[in-house]
Structures are given as C-alpha cells and as structure tokens.
Amino acid sequence: MAIFRECRFLSQDGRSLYYRDYGDPSAGASPVLCLPGLTRNSKDFHALASRLAASHRVICPDYRGRGQSERDPDPANYHPQVTLGDLRHLMIVTGLDEAILVCTSYGGFMAMGLAVLAPSSLRAMILNDVGPEVSEQGMRRISGYVGKDSPQPDWDAAIAELQRMFPEMADDDPATLRDEAEATWRAGNDGLLHFDWDTRLAAAVLEARTESDPWVLFRALSQFPVLALRGERSDVLSAETLRRMVQAHPDIEAVTVSGRGHPLTLNEPEVTEAIDAFLARV
C-alpha cells in the first residue's frame, strides 16, 4: 500500500495544484494540514506525515508555483491572498471541515490569514519557527536566494549550496541533507538541477510584507491552542518575538530546541514529543 496518495485539484482560476494525502480519510482524529515555507513543498513533511498517518489524515500541498503544482503565467498571482484562496479551496475539495495546521515559516503567515478568513475551519496550530515578525537578518538571507535560480551540476554540489543557504544545517546527517536537497532542486531538461519553485514569486510575496500588521494577524490565533516551536539559533524567529507571542496568547506552549536553526525538521526528538502531546490534548 502506498504511503500517500498523489492528488491534484484545480484552483478557482484554473491552475493545476498538487497535494499529498496521507492516512485514512475516515480517521477519527482531527485531520492535519501541513503548510510549507515560502519556497518549500510537500516533501518537507514526509517523515512527520508518515508518522501521523497511523491516526490522522494528513494533507500536504504544494503551493502554486512550487514543487509539482503548476507555475502561474502571471507572477502577480503568487500574492499571499491568492495562496489563501487556493488553501481554502483545497480544504473544501478534500473535505477538511476542521483541521489542525502544521506550519513552517511562511506557512505560519498563511495560518494567520486562514484564522482571519475561515476560523471555523481550524482547530489548532503548530508553528515551526515562525511568528508575527521575521528578523532582518533572516529576511536578508531569504531575499538573497528566493528570486534567482541557482543551477547545480549534481546532488553533492546541491547539498553544499544548501548548507550555504541554510548555514545552521551544516551539522545535519548526510541522509537528512540529501532529503532537503531533493526538496529544494529538481532535474531540468538541461541536465542541471534547478530550484523547485518559480523564482518569479519573490516580488509578489516579499512586497506583501508591509500590507498588514502582523501582530493583528497573530491575535487572530488567540481562539486556538498553539504550539510554537523555535530553533535556538534561528535567524527568523527571535527569542524576544517568541516571548511576546507567549505573553499575547492565552493558550500557547513554547518549545525551543537547543543547537538548531531555521527551520526545524519536525523530526527532532523533543519536537516529536511536543507534537504528540499537543495533538493528544487538542
């Protein structure tokens, strides 16, 4: 039996979008919807989704322009509001009446948007190294690679480039680094490995940062239980921002993983323990 089902749906404007569907759709536990980072895709959640599939249905989408989802001919459609529309449509298509969200980085901002637009469809949130504010250091690093391709001749070169892009991953084991590289590049017709996202998305997404107050969006999460995970060496979610999140939210658990940066793999032992305990109570 396959670990997951590969599925597609049409967005409301006709784009063909991809998602992985793990577990039993009739499982009694609340379904889980995994939202990846800005340029990431469903592959990042494979280990977590495979583990949770024993008790939960788990949906892992590729946003438009990422992974196996169709690239948009109009890069303006990579605006976060369009992605939110895609996610709401996905939840309707898959019958997710009420889901627990697992959100890495940019996915956390998508969760905040869904909390504003469709709060009745959400049950709880797990935030992976993301909060209302992104540190300037982290934003400079992300802005430095998201909008331009970085072709690599082979997987060894891709892993080396990945470690440059995400310096906190330097100590990861070879198998983890290979998995991360395969979720970042894919083979092109020219024999080189290319980023597995449409680099034209950068302008629409990064320019949208200033369109709303992120702390107002975060307050929309106050009606849901939240598990906030942070890597101790993160350059995206600062310790001070996490402290303010804990002060501002009435039902939030915070876990900081020592020695780790941005983002967490969600397979760290203390993260696995925290996620299982959180899911058991929500």
| Residues 128-140: tens digit of each pLDDT | 999 999 999 999 9
Q: Which residues pair with 69 in a beta bridge?
A: none
**Residue 158 tokens, joined:** 């891709």
What is the CB neighbour count within 10 angstroms for residue 117? 14
Tell me what pLDDT residue 206 has: 79
CA angle 225, 19, 212 (to 5 degrees): 50
**Residue 127 tokens, joined:** 């935030």
User: Which amino acid makes up residue 191?
Assistant: G
| Separation of alpha carbons 53 and 23, rounded Å | 4
| Separation of alpha carbons 16 and 11, rounded Å | 7
| Residues 39-49: tens digit of each pLDDT | 999 999 999 99
| Separation of alpha carbons 107 and 66, rounded Å | 13
Low-confidence ranges of the chain (pLDDT < 50): none
Number of H helices, E strands in the chain: 10, 10
- Domains by residue range for the chain, with CATH: 4-147+199-281 (3.40.50.1820), 149-198 (no CATH)
pTM, rounded to two decimals: 0.96
Residue 67 has phi, psi (to 5 degrees) of 55, -130
